[in-house]
Amino acid sequence: MSEISDAIQTKCLAFGDRIIKLNDYLLEQAANKKPSYKMVNGKRVYNKSIPVYLQAVSNLCNQLLRSGTSVGANNAEASSAISKADFKSKSYIALKEARESMYWLELLHRNNYLTDIQFNSLYADAEELVKVLTHRCKKLDGVE
């Protein structure tokens, strides 16, 4: 791998690490919330076995986990491409996954699962990956 590819992969791995840690943190926070219940004849009756708030954050986290870790996986595949077309294809997929990660981060933030500080930091990392991968893809297309 070239020095540039190594640097990109290092950024991808660091982003993936942060996404995994965020996933663990958000799921832990959601699991520690008190489930909603009502009292019936002096007994607690839980509304659902898996509370809706846990379902929502779990689904969002899963989507972010998949896209956020896929950036690095596709970038790694690009570095082992068997042809220029394969390299280009994997590079574009990595770019798409980085953009998708930005979407899920924004959605988590808009729904108050992420603080402004968490969001801004992770979003900035995702934006940096998008810029680097966009530059690479434009070079591959002969556009600068």
Per-domain residue ranges for the chain? 3-140
How far is CA 76 from each of CA 65, 69, 108, rounded to the nearest angstrom?
Answer: 17, 11, 27
- The beta strand positions in 8-142, using DSSP E, are 37-40, 43-46
SS3 state at 82? coil
Query: For residue range 19-75, what is the model confidence (pLDDT) as tens digits?
Result: 999 999 998 888 777 656 677 888 877 665 555 667 888 899 999 999 999 999 999
Tell me the pTM: 0.84
- The CB density around residue 75, as the number of other CB atoms within 10 Å, is 26
Task: Select from 3.40.30.10, 3.30.450.20, 3.40.50.1370, 1.20.1440.60 the CATH code of 3-140.
Answer: 1.20.1440.60
